[in-house]
A and B are shown apart, each in its own frame.
Chain A
Amino acid sequence: MERQLLQRAKEAFVSGRARPLEFRLQQLHALQRMILEKETEISTALKQDINRSQYDTPLLELIGIENEIKLAIEKLAQWAAPRPVEKNLFTISDEVYIQPEPLGVVLIIGAWNYPWALTLIPLVGAIAAGNAAVVKPSELSECSSLLLHALLPRYLDKDLYPVVTGGVSETQQLLRLRFDHIFYTGGSTAGKLVMEAAARHLTPVTLELGGKSPCYIDKDCDVRTACRRVTWGKFVNCGQTCIAPDYILCEPCIQGQVVEFIRQTLLEFYGADPKCSPDYSRIINQQHFSRIMSLMEGYTPVVGGQSDSSQCYIAPTVLKDVPPHSRLMQEEIFGPVLPIVTVSDMEDAINFINEREKPLALYIFCSDQKAIKRMIEETTSGGVTVNDVMMHYTVSSLPFGGVGQSGMGRYHGKHTFDQLSHQRACLIRSLKMERVNLARYPPQDRRRARRVRMALRSPLIDMSKRTLIWAVVATILGIGLFITLLVILLIAAGLNCTCWYWRGFYN
């Protein structure tokens, strides 16, 4: 089944119909139409999957996809055009450029926490880059997955962009096949399996994994605003966001304040009982529910802590004074549990972050520019947002992706296009000027080597239009200056025009 789908996609790709820009644009427009027309259905599916509020789905997923499509439609011609590179003396008379090319068939494995955005944004890139794509939405968000399976073929080309639904065994089947790129969003453990499977076919992979994203709150900043932003980021989608702040690092003196402000914000956001709030989501399934519950064991929550296994409901929970080596601090929480770890100062916080795996995101709340700069310089992570959470995800000009255990490869906007394209180096020379090449042919001697050295070591020149304009302007100015100098010299040498006039030259 999977094999046949891939075969069909491959044949459709080889036929070359995914390549013309018009086709890609048309498919992107169709996808855009799907998002606009089926917004209610999509929201309903997510309501069923994780009880997400009908307003949150457009806010967190659909607007992002729409933006991404709009950007791709607007910029596609520019992205897909050949990109001239700098030339040196050696290639000065040649055409040298990078040509982005489609890779072939891309496998996109989506995640269940944001089943639309994390599946469709890579798809937008795949379509834009002219690839065929096999889409495999996560089986855990069942309603969304089925809806995608039903909707996508109605709007997009059936052969080029098939949807495969199914669980682990289907995914394993898929991974055994040979793709030209695999784009996986999900957990680190599965990410390793994906990469291992890809290694057998030498398929490049983009892995968007998770990790424990730290959130440092400095004692001198506006703690109230900071806590509002953190609370939103942590408890949106019931904490099931890969770039949600995983834990808070702060000094002991402000811990009480932080807890108090979070409590206040929660009251404002979700009311006295979050269970009744239409804006508060649920945990995806029982397995994750019990995992998160077991993480909380042995702590007395300072805020929240209630749960209801029949609904997979866990209340927004804050834990105080969590020891750095507890189990809670070993794995990604991916639920509405927010531990606070106290550190003595910023130095300590930096060490704490550097001791652990490189996170997908790092959040810093601080008003001191120098301290911010230092913290960014001395740590590493996939992305950083200062004085807010998750916002770097929304800027499509910023590459989004992890480093180390939090993933590899970058996407969003042009970066998705580049990630799913092959950047082919092109050098178009002519068969003339063979004499110049003599230097490189055997029999070789020192003199010839020296000549090649000169050409190779000449600096790279940017041969774009701007350089040309500058060159022309500089030349004109130079000539102008030269003429002025000549005139001045002539006058200084005694060629006086006025004396000709008086001699009667003009009369």
Chain B
Amino acid sequence: MSQEELVVERARRSFQTGRSKPLEFRLQQLRRLQSFLKERQEDIKDALQKDLGKSGCASELYELLVVEAELQLSLTRLAEWAAPRPVEKNLFTLSDEVYVRPEPLGVVLIVGPWNYPWSLTLLPLVGAIAAGNAAIVKPSEISSTSSTVIKQLLPLYLDKDLYQVVEGGVPETQQLLKQRFDHIFYTGSTAVGKLVMEAAAPHLTPVTLELGGKSPCYIDKDCDIRIACRRITWAKLINCGQTCIAPDFILCEPSVQNRVVEEIRRCVKEFYADSPKTSDDYGRIINQRQFKRIVGLMEGCTIAFGGDADESQGYIGPTVLKNVTGDSRVMQEEIFGPLLPIVTVQSVDEAIHFINEREKPLALYVFSHNAKLIEKVLAETSSGALVANDCIVHFLDSALPFGGVGHSGMGRYRGRHTFDQLSNLRSCMIKQLKMEGLNSMRYPPHSTKKLGWARRFLLSQLNVQKLRNMAMLAMLTCLAAFVVQSANQCWHHRRIIYWKLVHEACPAYCLVPKAIILLRIISSKAASFTQTTALSLRDNVFLSRKPAHTSTLLLITQHASLPLVEGLLCSAVPALKLSSRCRSSAAGVQSGPSLYWSKHFIFVLM
């Protein structure tokens, strides 16, 4: 048995004991991982400094923060994610329990890349732990210091059997890929991605591939080019251009090319002072091979600025290439270094065409003030993600699924998406052994009659959600009607008392205060209007002995508001409809408008 076999066997056996399943265990492991990041921050930063020349702040900003945010999110949301998710029912399954239950898959292999050796290795691990899986972590051998630190320190914090770290280069990875896993999560290049998927096929292992690609960046000529260039320069030069979602090349119209170059030059100066080589914030190329490849890409291009390189340090200065054509070498492969070619296009249509001619990128960036233009680019292109007016930041948002399409990868992750990706979403349906009579329509011997029944039943798939909403609405309207009715009763008595009070307090000629009080009685509550129906007859008689002004006033208010309330009542309960219509006809009000209102009312509620 090779070492890799033993590792997987050990992880599988401890997964089978079921101890990674309870939520408390997962939460505890996540908390351990959190304290690992907090306590070992210095070790991590040192490793990154050695591997990629990242400064302490940059390490914290681009590597650790994302993982911390993800851990925080997982810790607070895990119970919600892992709970069974009820789904919509139909008429057939009304009495059953129907839900989707997320379950751990088993042993997950996580193969990390070297450009962000911590975040891109630990983010999937957070998801694997949260989903209750066991995991084998294989950090990239190219960022060797980080790999060693992970190997040494992770077992001190996490369960040693469930979450193991395997170090090694290509042969070890090949050995690992021969083993059977329940999911493989690979972050890296397209070429290796294919090999990973091919290796997964014999075991039918699902894969998540986070690959790269040439992410285009289109700058509209009417946008604020200064700010656009700032954001692009920042995104391109983080980690010395070795970011899978860094803008790979710029597409812009020839008229703005020089301005773009100028602005980028200014930003480089602002960010890294006069010499990026001595700046703490500027990274280095990972190794000699990559260095040679990147320097080779520059050949034959017009360098607008930069282009300086120092092989001994793996340093390549921020470089912008001008007037690059689509068929030059730098446009054929992912650059993954601090070179920024500018390709000129005549219009946004040409830019879209340029993008569609190539493989689907991992990210697409558009800078424009024009919402229509952004909409157009969104609709006519395809990419893993689209960000307008900024670069890279979609990776920081754990609510957005992160992943590629076509050659830039498959599968999505971040936050809840990682959890779902590394879980088996098992559909569960729990029925009763009763009501066997209902089933006879599916049992043989068949007949036309049985089929008719089945058709009627299965095709009339009533949406239960809708039914529930309707029932709720009906109940609410009933309740409203009830409230209105009882309010009526109260107001009825009160009003007569009020009226008597008014009548006695003010002499018959004090029309104005009388009218005001009357108005207040009537208009104080919408509910009180309804009583006018019931009482209108009596009131009219009652008021007819009083001065004409008041009685007209009352009648006007009454007639204006009646249909609305009537409508409410009519739509609430059909039984009420009849009685209220009788009442309104008794009061001499046409039932025409009330019917109109009831229809309108139902329409509004729908």
Q: Does A311 contact B (CB under 8 A)?
A: no
Interchain CB contact under 8 A, B406 and A202: yes
Q: Spot the interface stretch: A335-343, A399-407, A487-495.
A: A399-407
Q: How far is the CB of B465 from chain A (nearest CB, A)?
A: 10
A459 adjacent to B76 (CB under 8 Å): yes
Please determine whether A444 and B55 come into contact, CB atoms closer than 8 angstroms.
yes
A441-B271 contact in complex given A221-B433, A425-B402, C-beta closer than 8 Å: yes
In contact, B431 and A387 (Cβ under 8 angstroms): yes
In the bound complex, do residue B399 and residue A87 qualify as a contact, i.e. CB atoms below 8 Å apart? Answer: yes
Query: Complex: how many Å from CA A271 to CA B72?
Result: 64
Pick from B220-228, B336-344, B591-599 the stretch touching chain A: B220-228
In the complex formed, the residue of B with least CB distance to A426 is B386
User: Which residues 318-342 in B have Cβ within 8 Å of A in the complex?
Assistant: none
Question: Do B427 and A400 touch (CB < 8 A)?
Answer: yes
Which single member of A99, A270, A384 contacts B429 (CB below 8 Å)? Answer: A384
A499 to B602, CA, bound (A): 51
CB contacts (< 8 Å) of A63 on chain B: these are 454-455, 458-459
Which B residues, 374 to 423, have Cβ-Cβ distances below 8 Å to chain A?
374, 378, 380, 382-390, 393-394, 396-402, 405-407, 409-412, 415
Q: Tell me, rounded to whole Å, the shortest Cβ–Cβ distance linking A357 to chain B.
A: 10
Contacting residues, chain A, for B383 (C-beta < 8 A):
424
Point out the residues of chain A lying under 8 angstroms from B409, CB to CB.
202
Judge whether A427 and B432 touch: CB under 8 Å: no
Residues in chain B near residue A425, CB distance under 8 A:
384-386, 394, 400-402
Whether B57 and A448, one on each chain, are in contact in the complex, defined by CB atoms closer than 8 angstroms, is yes
CB distance from B230 to the nearest CB of A (A): 7
> Which stretch, B121-129, B194-202, B306-314, touches the partner chain A?
B194-202
B428 touches A424 (CB 8 A): no
For the complex, what is the distance from the CA of A367 to the CA of B402, rounded to whole Å?
44
Closest to A407 in B: B204
Cα-based distance from A446 to B387 in the complex (angstroms): 28
**Is B567 in contact with chain A by the CB < 8 A criterion?**
no
Known: A192-B204, A228-B436, A444-B61. A88 touches B399 (CB 8 A): yes
What residue in chain B is nearest A226 (Cβ atoms)? B433
Asked if B400 contacts A225 (CB within 8 A), the reply is no
Q: Decide if A99 touches B182 in the complex (CB within 8 Å).
A: no
Within A175-220, the residues touching B (CB, 8 Å) are 180, 188, 191-193, 195-196, 198-200, 202, 204, 207, 209
B66 interface residue (CB < 8 Å to A):
yes
A279 CB within 8 Å of chain B: yes
Residue interface mask A272-299, B partner, CB < 8 A = 1: 0000011110000000000000000000
A392 and B451: CB pair below 8 A?
no
Residue ID in chain A nearest B225 by CB atoms: A431
Q: How far is the CA of A87 from the CA of B356 in the complex (A)?
A: 30
Tell me if A386 and B87 are in contact (CB < 8 A): no
User: Given A199-B197, A392-B429, does the pair A427, B400 have CB atoms closer than 8 Å?
Assistant: yes
Minimum CB–CB distance from B457 to chain A (whole Å) comes to 9
**B590 at the A interface (CB under 8 A):** no
Q: Which residue of B lies closest to A279 (CB)?
A: B444
B389 and A229 within 8 A (CB):
no
Q: CB-CB < 8 A to B90: which residues of A?
A: 395, 397
Residues of A with C-beta under 8 A to B234: 440-442
CB-defined contacts of B430 to chain A, threshold 8 Å: 372, 385-387
B300 at the interface (CB under 8 A from A): no
Given known A-B contacts A180-B406, A202-B194, A192 and B446 have beta carbons under 8 A apart: no
Q: Assuming the A-B contacts A85-B400, A410-B425, A431-B367, are A269 and B445 also in contact, with contact meaning beta carbons closer than 8 angstroms in the complex?
A: yes
Q: Are B432 and A387 in contact (CB under 8 A)?
A: yes
Nearest Cβ on chain A to B38's Cβ, whole angstroms: 12
Q: Which of A29-86 contact B (CB under 8 A)?
A: 53, 55-56, 58-59, 63, 66-67, 70-71, 85-86
Within 8 Å of chain A (Cβ to Cβ): is B209?
A: yes
Nearest Cβ distance between residue B166 and chain A, in whole angstroms? 22
Residue of A nearest to B182 (CB): A404
User: Is the pair B272, A442 in contact by a Cβ cutoff of 8 Å?
Assistant: yes
The residue in chain B whose Cβ has the minimal distance to the Cβ of A84 is: B399
In the bound complex, CA of A417 to CA of B88 (Å):
17
B160 within 8 A of A: no
Which applies to chain A's interface (DSSP): helix, strand, loop or mixed?
Answer: mixed
Residue B301, interface by CB 8 Å = no
| CB pair B204 A279 closer than 8 Å | no
A427 to B397, CA, bound (A): 9
Cβ of A222 within 8 Å of any chain B Cβ, yes or no, is yes
Chain A: which residue is nearest B273 at the CB level? A443
A380 touches B98 (CB 8 A): no
Contact at B427–A399, with CB atoms within 8 Å?
yes
- 1/0 contact trace for B217-254 toward A, CB 8 Å? 00000011001101100100000000000000000000
Q: Nearest Cβ in chain A — how far from B168, in angstroms?
A: 23
Q: How far is the CB of A98 from chain B (nearest CB, A)?
A: 6
Which residue in A59, A199, A378 is a CB contact (below 8 Å) of B454? A59
Whether, in the assembled complex, A449 has its beta carbon less than 8 Å from a beta carbon of chain B, the answer is yes
Smallest CB separation, A275 vs chain B (Å): 14
Q: Smallest distance from the beta carbon of B576 to chain A beta carbons, Å?
A: 29
B447 at the interface (CB under 8 A from A): yes
Task: Give CA–CA (A407, B426) in the complex, Å.
Answer: 12
Q: Is the CB of B224 within 8 A of A90?
A: no
A1, B537: Cα distance in complex, Å: 86
| Complex Cα gap A325–B45 (Å) | 55
Q: Are B397 and A96 in contact (CB under 8 A)?
A: yes
Choose among A16, A99, A392, A400 the residue that contacts B428 (Cβ–Cβ < 8 A).
A392
Q: List 16 A-B contacts (CB under 8 A).
A: A14-B356, A66-B459, A85-B397, A96-B397, A96-B399, A96-B400, A180-B406, A384-B428, A399-B425, A400-B427, A408-B206, A427-B400, A428-B388, A449-B60, A453-B60, A460-B73
Where the two chains meet, the residues of A that have a C-beta atom closer than 8 Å to any C-beta of B are: 14, 16, 53, 55-56, 58-59, 63, 66-67, 70-71, 85-88, 90-91, 96, 98-99, 101, 103-104, 180, 188, 191-193, 195-196, 198-200, 202, 204, 207, 209, 221-222, 225-226, 228-229, 232, 236, 269-271, 277-280, 354, 365, 367, 372, 376, 378, 380-388, 391-392, 394-395, 397-400, 403-405, 407-410, 422-431, 434, 437, 440-446, 448-449, 452-453, 456-457, 459-460
Leading 7 A-B pairs by shortest Cβ distance: A55-B446, A279-B444, A442-B281, A199-B197, A444-B57, A398-B427, A195-B201
